[in-house]
Amino acid sequence: MTGQVARQAPYVIEYSLANNVLAVRVEKLGFSRVLDLRTIRIAVKARDFIIAFTHPYSTRQMRLLYFPSPAQRDHLLQAIGSAGAELLELPD
């Protein structure tokens, strides 16, 4: 699946955030998802992305969210924290 997605690059990932719900859409791939931020228990901030987990001790992530801009990543991370998740940060 990852190979199929990579072969279709470049494409635009559109994010919208309202009322603790993140909507993600990639028109070129026919992909759309919604994520209720209140279901995230732990969010890990990395350089270009956020890894979201539904269970505190899980080794399987719920979502991997990529952001081209640190400002966009940090805006979502703040919203995730406001929705009740514990926030962690990986060193650069």
Domain residue ranges of the chain, discontinuous segments joined by +? 2-89
Asked whether the beta carbons of 46 and 63 are under 8 A apart, the reply is no
Q: What three-state secondary structure class fits 3?
A: helix
Instruction: Count CB atoms within 10 A of the CB of residue 39.
Output: 14
CA atoms lying within 13 Å on the CB side of residue 70: 3
| Residue pLDDT tens, the chain, 92 long | 456 666 777 888 888 999 999 999 999 889 899 999 999 999 999 888 899 999 877 777 788 888 878 898 899 999 999 999 999 998 87
Q: Per the confidence metrics, is the pTM higher than 0.75?
A: yes
User: CA 13, CA 64: separation in Å to the nearest integer?
Assistant: 13
